[in-house]
């Protein structure tokens, strides 16, 4: 069986605009060669620091923005080159839920109208769409009577339920969720995550779930992909990624929580990335993680050929060769590192 979604070498650059002094700024390579697939009913979690390109990737997958290169196939169809008519037919099958439900819900429309809109836009009669909207309100844990209220009359969690009802109105096969619970209180987060799980159990919808909270991603995902400066640096089944991470960036993300045990605390500090995330407008040579990589420093200290880089000496491979994601250990576990066994 073919995958629901197949992404191949997807790229998106943004023009950098002009600097204060009039010179053209370099292009921002927000998504810089990403490949993965997603099965029906599966949840792929997508994590990475701010600016790593998660939202850009989500928008590219749904073709809300045009890619610079690469391909997205959805249910066997080439989304990147689909005509307007073909896209119109595809739209209901792939939907998005945003972080800020308030910003994405029209304040002048009632909740019922908001949920019904994709259905009427797709040719359903208004009365039928409003009837379905009332059913959907119930399915997402709201009362039917609430359909006549306006967005400002709802709490943050309730607004996110409206956003979800609207997204599932046309029974999509894929929903991209961009930080869907980041703006919500922890107790409300759990309710929304449970709702998403119920919907998936019922409908076999697949989720691309974007978040920076690793605990949330662990809770909801079948597989997890870790992004760093426009690339997926590691992708694996959930338990393999959390239990035996192979890329030093993943190791550092997972060790960001302080440990009470002194020995573990020491290893946590050793695995911390150095400095801040770089810029997608000025990508480092070779492995783009090399300026921050604790593992490259350990490998260099043990000998072997090194080059001066990032104010120290680092393994030649790290400075000169861009690592591609390659299988490490368990099936379907890929990491983009020249030294994946140095854990
Ligand atoms: N429309 C745009 N024009 C120019 N640059 C953009 C645009 N959209 C995104 N970028 C840049 O692309 C990079 C990736 O941004 P993106 O929003 O995809 O990251 P993200 O991982 O979703 O971050 P966050 O966790 O903050 O939401 C950043 O450097 C960002 O500044
Ligand atoms: S290739 Fe080198 S710099 Fe990149 S993650 Fe691996 S050890 Fe670090
Ligand atoms: Mg984002």
According to the model, what pLDDT value does residue 263 have? 63
Q: What pTM, to 2 d.p., does this model score?
A: 0.93
Query: What is the whole-number distance in angstroms between the Cα of residue 17 and the centre of ligand 3?
Result: 20
Query: What SS3 state is found at 20?
Result: coil
Tokens of 248: 């030093």
The CA distance from 61 to 72, in Å, is 6
Phi, psi of 233 (to 5 degrees): -90, -20
The CA distance from 304 to 315, in Å, is 7
Query: What SS3 state is found at 146?
Result: helix
Considering every ligand atom shown, identify the ligand nearest to the alpha carbon of residue 278 and give its number.
Answer: 1
Alpha helices in the chain (DSSP H): 54-61, 84-90, 101-104, 111-121, 126-139, 156-168, 186-203, 214-220, 238-243, 248-254, 262-270, 294-301, 316-320
Tokens of 65: 């923005």
- In short, whether 291's Cβ falls inside 6 Å of ligand 2 is no
According to the model, what pLDDT value does residue 335 have? 98
Q: Note whether 102 and 179 are same-domain residues.
A: yes
Among 51, 99, 216, 225, the mutation site with the greatest number of ligand 1 atoms within 8 A of its Cβ is: 51
CB 157 within 8 A of CB 169: no
Considering every ligand atom shown, identify the ligand nearest to the alpha carbon of residue 335 and give its number.
Answer: 2
DSSP state of 330: S
On whether residue 203 sits in a domain, the answer given is yes
The CA distance from 229 to 247, in Å, is 14
On whether residue 235 sits in a domain, the answer given is no
- In short, whether 43's Cβ falls inside 6 Å of ligand 1 is no
- In short, whether 55's Cβ falls inside 6 Å of ligand 1 is yes
Phi, psi of 7 (to 5 degrees): -110, 125
**Given CA atoms 181, 186, 191, 197 in this order, what sign does their dihedral have?**
positive
CB 158 within 8 A of CB 142: yes
Q: Closest Cα to atom 3, ligand 1: which residue?
A: 14
Q: Note whether 43 and 140 are same-domain residues.
A: yes
Considering every ligand atom shown, identify the ligand nearest to the alpha carbon of residue 52 and give its number.
Answer: 1
Phi, psi of 158 (to 5 degrees): -65, -40
Q: What is the mean pLDDT of each run of 10 residues along the chain (343 residues)?
A: 90 79 79 97 96 96 96 95 92 90 84 95 94 96 95 93 95 96 90 95 96 91 97 97 95 77 62 75 92 95 89 94 92 95 84
Contacts of 10 (CB under 8 A, 6+ apart): 31, 33, 34, 35, 57, 60, 67, 69, 70, 71, 72
Total domains in the fold of the chain: 2
CATH code (residue 43) = 3.40.50.300
H or E, element range at 11: strand 5-14
- In short, whether 53's Cβ falls inside 6 Å of ligand 1 is yes
Domain that holds residue 192: 5-221
Q: Note whether 157 and 35 are same-domain residues.
A: yes
Q: Note whether 125 and 260 are same-domain residues.
A: no
Q: Note whether 105 and 155 are same-domain residues.
A: yes
Q: Note whether 161 and 27 are same-domain residues.
A: yes
CB 72 within 8 A of CB 79: yes
- In short, whether 289's Cβ falls inside 6 Å of ligand 2 is yes
Q: Note whether 133 and 278 are same-domain residues.
A: no
DSSP state of 244: S
Tokens of 282: 């000025």
- In short, whether 12's Cβ falls inside 6 Å of ligand 1 is no
- Domain termination site, one of 166, 188, 221: 221
According to the model, what pLDDT value does residue 17 have? 61
Tokens of 130: 């409003």
What DSSP assignment string belongs to 307-323? EEETTEEEEHHHHH--P
């Amino acid at each position: 069986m073919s995958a629901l979604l197949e992404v191949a070498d997807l790229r998106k650059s943004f023009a950098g605009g002009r600097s204060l002094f009039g010179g053209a700024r370099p292009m921002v390579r927000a998504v810089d060669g990403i490949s993965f697939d997603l099965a029906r009913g599966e949840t792929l979690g997508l994590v990475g620091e701010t600016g790593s390109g998660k939202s850009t990737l989500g928008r590219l997958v749904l073709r809300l923005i045009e890619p610079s290169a690469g391909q997205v196939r959805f249910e066997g169809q080439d989304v990147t080159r689909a005509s307007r008519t073909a896209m119109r037919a595809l739209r209901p099958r792939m939907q998005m839920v945003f972080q800020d439900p308030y910003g994405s819900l029209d304040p002048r429309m009632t909740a019922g109208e908001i949920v019904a809109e994709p259905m009427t836009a797709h040719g359903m009669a208004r009365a039928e769409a409003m009837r379905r909207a009332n059913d959907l309100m119930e399915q997402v844990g709201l009362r039917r009577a609430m359909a006549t209220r306006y967005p400002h009359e709802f709490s943050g969690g309730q607004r996110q339920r409206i956003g979800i009802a609207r997204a599932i109105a046309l029974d999509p096969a894929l929903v991209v969720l961009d930080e869907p619970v980041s703006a919500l209180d922890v107790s409300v987060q759990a309710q929304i995550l449970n709702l998403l799980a119920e919907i998936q159990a019922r409908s076999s919808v697949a989720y691309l779930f974007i978040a920076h909270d690793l605990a949330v991603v662990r809770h909801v995902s079948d597989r997890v992909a870790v992004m760093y400066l426009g690339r997926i640096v590691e992708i694996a089944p959930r338990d393999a990624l959390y239990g035996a991470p192979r890329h030093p960036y993943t190791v550092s993300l997972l060790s960001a929580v302080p440990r009470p045990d002194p020995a573990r605390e020491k290893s946590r500090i050793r695995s911390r990335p150095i400095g801040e995330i770089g810029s997608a407008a000025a990508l480092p040579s070779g492995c783009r993680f090399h300026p921050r990589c604790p593992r490259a420093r350990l490998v260099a200290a043990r000998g072997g050929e090194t080059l001066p880089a990032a104010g120290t000496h680092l393994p030649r491979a790290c400075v000169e060769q861009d690592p591609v994601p390659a299988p490490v250990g368990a099936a379907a576990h890929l990491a983009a590192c020249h030294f994946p066994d140095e854990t």
